[in-house]
Amino acid sequence: MDEWREITRTGDPIGLPPARKPAISALSFDVDHDLVWAGDENGRLFSLYGPELRKYTSFKAHSGSVKQLLSNERGIISVGDSIRMTNRRGMARWTINDDSVNDLQCMTYTGRGASEILVAGMQNDMLVVNIDRGTVIQKEPGPEQTAVMRRGRMICAGSSTGEVSLLDPKTFKVQHRFAAHTGTITDMDTQGNLLLTCGFSARHGQYVLDPIVKVFDLRTMRPLVPIPFPAGPTFIRMHPKLPSAIITAQMGQYHITDVNNVSDLKLRQATTASFISAVDLSPSGDAFALADADGIVQLWGTSDEPSFSEFASPVDWPDPVVPPPKVEFKEDTPLNMIGMPYYREELLSSWPATMLFEVGNPSPQIDPEVLATMKTVDFVGYAPNPRRKLRNQVEKNPDIEKMRGANNRGPRFRSERDKLGLSAGPDGSVTFEDMEDDVLGPSNVPRYYRKVEIQYSKFGIEDFDFGFYNKTAFAGLETHIPNSYCNALLQMYHFIPHLRRMSLAHMSSSCSRHKCMFCELGFLSNMLQDAKGQNCHASNFLRTLKSLKQASALGLLDGEDGIDGKIASRAPTIQSFNRFFLDQINMEGRETDQQPVTGDVQAAVTAKVATSIPADLMGMNITTLTRCTACASESVKPSTNMVFDLVYPKPHTNRREPPVPSFSSVLRASIHREGQTRAWCNNCRQYQLLGTRKLVRNLPPVLSLNAAVLTPDQWQCWASKSWPPPRIGLSLINNRVTCIHGRDLEKKTNDSRVHIYELTSIVAEIRADKNDTHLIALVKIPANDLSPEQAGNESPWYLFNDFLVKNVSEEEALSFPGAWKVPAVLCYQQVNVEEAITLNLPKPDMGILYQDYSIAAARDFRNFTAEILDPSELPGPDFVAAIDAEFVAMQQEETEVRSDGTKSTIRPSVLGLARVSVLRGKGEKEAVPFIDDYIATDEPVIDYLTEFSGIRHGDLDVGLSRHTLLPLKMAYKKLRLLVNLGCKFLGHGLAKDLRIINIIIPKEQIIDTVDLFYLKSRHRKLSLRFLAWYILHEEIQQDTHDSIEDARTALRLHQKYLEYEEAGVLETILHDLYNTGRRHNFRPPVKAEVEHAPPAIEAAFGGD
């Protein structure tokens, strides 16, 4: 640090005249780019690029002085009269300017990474701000009058009274305090175990700058030898790599000193006409910037071109303006010489229908008969009324009706549709398929292929109209869950009938794994079957995927925040997940003792019974022979391949348009994959050239292929009409696979050695946006899943674009018209697979309902509230189960603030099942619970919602819980078993509970008291607490919620409903119920008089 010298300076960074140059109040180097950021006393921010301090951006951020700046990969955070984050181009990302922002002075990052900052000042409370969402998530009482903060091993806060407070970076509680100066601390910095401070002290009744820099050891909380600086230290910056510090005075002198050797001083002088107002040292330690009150920024460094950051990213510069060509326009110059631009995208002037708004009806035309008979008196016309229309009646305007129809073509929330009286879904309303769409082409991506997103209203995700996107009988999957890119592949495997039955069989077995993807696949398939077109979500399956360490190691998971980033390609990820998923369920299938597959799968494997159901269905047994070319030694390795990656021939270099290889040749080469590689030979004891060849032992009934399209030449194969063939023929002769299709296959239809495979599903990547892609599934629905009307009138091919489901033609499904549609995974099934393989499904594991089980280590049997079912109480269609559940918050709601100050929901809060209680609805033990399970979780709980759930810290912890604690899978399996047995479920507001539990119960098996005591004309559903007060004369949910109490209350309400209906007084009571609720704001009075029944009930049952 001996050769520090001034490199450059700038005197007019924002272009103001000399008399109006504001003083620079804050200065900071960018951690991600070679930029220096500065903020002045007028609230303006500007940035300078590189060693030459080239102007980059300048914009107004605050109305007052800028106090401090922090850089982040997403932008720049500034503190002034508000807290604001802008991107590096000057566009605001968010602004916090409410009552919590009073007099803030400083900020620093917390110990939770770079997603939160701690802001403090002269106000009493410190603010914890989430910079991703731009919201204040926490308020903490902090040190008074905080003037400066720095973060090292602890958060150091210096106050205007000269006191330094050390805060815990996690709890923000003050751990230590000590007095550094008697006046205001002007600056401080910390590195390792050292803290350096400078500030004012009282001398002779006045405050003057201390002529020394005080040094403190944070390990012992004791002062060390101070650093003398007679010029008066005002600013301190410690070197990020060396044990050195730069101490700066207001008049421009600065010392470079070794902290461990305070006598080693190197003095420099920065020329300034006023005084230094801000300084900063670059993250690389190679550049030092000073700013003064005249708005001048000086750059000092050890070289002529210092780097500000270790790994600086390039900045985005504006595109250069290309001047238009000059055209000499004369009388004989043709107009086509001027030229017109070629538009690749839709012009902004082409307004979509959703941007046209109704502004009112035009004034109606006056009847000609009125004009003919009108008499004018004092500028007023009088005429008899022909009475051709009723009073206040207007004629229908076709233009207005057309505009209304266009506006109604967008998806509406259910609450809006109910308010406007519009219908939704397949009941005769406007749906997604009714909208006009683009033509399928090389550059035209139809709307139904594009990414669909869920919108959120104030009523949450339940209010979104999914029926607008799906009027088929097949359920789509929602996208608001992390890792939902798996939706397309899950839909593909759901419609493989044998794999579906295998997963249902595994789900019904006594699988002992707490987190089993094979069980979750069975649960999901069962739910998709019961949905009958209703939207579903795979949250339980994806939560299990997230818990597997191998999935994380393979890079199959989205970010920890659960928000999908902009991903250039999803195809490699879904192909890796395909391999992992099939291997995982294959391994889980081996561990479960269930009935294996029987039948003549192939002639080569009839003598051996498989031990893994998925491997027998989709596994190809292969023996790999490896031969050393030097010593001719051979090794044999058996394996089972569940997925094959297609291997394309190398592109030709001597021909411009090489012939497209046949799909059959590529598939055969991909299965055998013969070649030579250099590897270790155990016999030669050195690296040799080894040749490999593969012998195939069987042909699986289902063949899964990864398309592995990586280059444009490979995609050109799929652009040809012969790719992919709808049918192929595979034969196995002498352990070699032969593949044929097209006319060759037609000639071999009677050959018993040729097994015919049919293409049944494709997972494709849609690249409508080059920076963000998504996956869709094109599935040929099995004949058994189609209704007679669908089988006769529609194509069996369906598009599954997450929750958008649409019928498409086979030609469209198998074509790849443009580079925006890229195949990722294919599935071929043997045509006679029903004859080739059979499965004996095991009986459901009923013992789970009759056994007491808990994984809680500290279970207290005094808290055991359930009485387990007796085998004599076999649940069935006549069994009524009263159910209620409690939930905890696993992830907070994510919102963004628009430019107009309003908030919109990006992702709703995520709730997890914490407790479920099921009571008997009939019999001698009526209202006695037989399930009361708490759900163990190893994920962090953000909020236990104790006021609404009754769940407290430790209730869901295996080591601390004193209740009956079960894994989510086991609790879910109990409910799934009751649904499959045909039991009726009774509760209040079950729709939301069942949605969070992630289970669908057929409507004929649901009795919901929120719908029983409901008048459609009032547009309001009543709470359980209010119904209990009015109907049962009881007050519930006083301090907290209890699922047993709520389920028992719903059961009694249903009994009252049957009584009122039998007595013929239900309608009268419902009207009085709503009238009473309106008087009390639909809440029980604070002091409810429950001794007497409400008047309507007394009158209905003969009360006095």
- For 1055-1067, the DSSP string reads HHHHHHHHHT-HH
> Where is 780: in which H helix or E strand?
strand 772-780
The identity of residue 692, as a single letter, is: T
Percent of the chain as helix, strand, coil, to the nearest 5: 25, 30, 45
pTM of the model: 0.61
Q: Could you identify the residue written with the tokens 């609230």?
A: 43
Summarised one tens digit per residue, pLDDT across range 704-721 is: 999 989 888 888 889 888
Under DSSP, is residue 393 helix (H, G, I), strand (E, B) or coil?
A: coil
- For 149-212, the DSSP string reads EEESSSEEEEETTSEEEEE-TTT--EEEEEE--SS-EEEEEEETTEEEEEEEEEETTEEEE-SE
pLDDT bin (cut points 50, 70, 90) of residue 422 is low
Compute the average pLDDT of residues 1015-1043: 85
pLDDT at 90 over 80: yes
Contact 887, 996 (CB under 8 A): yes
Give the C-alpha separation, 1058 to 1051, whole Å.
11
Contact 526, 976 (CB under 8 A): yes
Give the C-alpha separation, 716 to 151, whole Å.
55
Q: In terms of pLDDT, which residue wins out, 736 or 389? A: 736
Give the C-alpha separation, 234 to 248, whole Å.
6
pLDDT at 566 over 70: no
Taking residue 474's Cβ as centre, other Cβ atoms within 10 Å add up to 22
pLDDT bin (cut points 50, 70, 90) of residue 939 is confident
CA angle in degrees (0–180, nearest 5) for 235-41-212:
15
Contact 702, 827 (CB under 8 A): yes
Give the C-alpha separation, 721 to 815, whole Å.
7
For the chain, the residue count is: 1104
pLDDT at 468 over 60: yes
pLDDT at 837 over 60: no
Taking residue 229's Cβ as centre, other Cβ atoms within 10 Å add up to 25
Summarised one tens digit per residue, pLDDT across range 168-224 is: 888 889 999 999 998 999 999 999 889 999 999 988 788 889 999 999 998 888 899
Give the C-alpha separation, 181 to 203, whole Å.
12
Under DSSP, is residue 372 helix (H, G, I), strand (E, B) or coil?
A: helix
pLDDT bin (cut points 50, 70, 90) of residue 321 is confident
Give the C-alpha separation, 846 to 508, whole Å.
9
Q: What own/partner pairs with CB < 8 Å and gap ≥ 24 does 1065-1073 have? A: 1065/1096, 1065/1100, 1065/1101, 1068/1096, 1068/1099, 1068/1100, 1069/1096, 1069/1097, 1069/1100, 1070/1013, 1070/1014, 1070/1015, 1071/1015, 1071/1096, 1072/1096, 1072/1097, 1073/1013, 1073/1022, 1073/1027, 1073/1030, 1073/1031
CA-CA distances (angstroms) from residue 47 to 36, 302, 953?
5, 22, 48
| Both structure tokens of 666 | 């590529």
| Both structure tokens of 881 | 């189960």
Summarised one tens digit per residue, pLDDT across range 854-906 is: 888 888 877 778 888 888 888 889 999 999 999 999 888 777 776 666 677 77
Summarised one tens digit per residue, pLDDT across range 1055-1084 is: 999 999 888 888 888 899 888 888 888 888
Mean pLDDT of the chain: 83
Summarised one tens digit per residue, pLDDT across range 287-300 is: 999 999 888 999 99
pLDDT at 19 over 80: no
The identity of residue 203, as a single letter, is: R
Compute the average pLDDT of residues 660-664: 88
Cβ neighbours for 186, distance < 8 A, ≥ 6 positions apart: 147, 148, 198, 199, 200, 209, 233, 234, 235
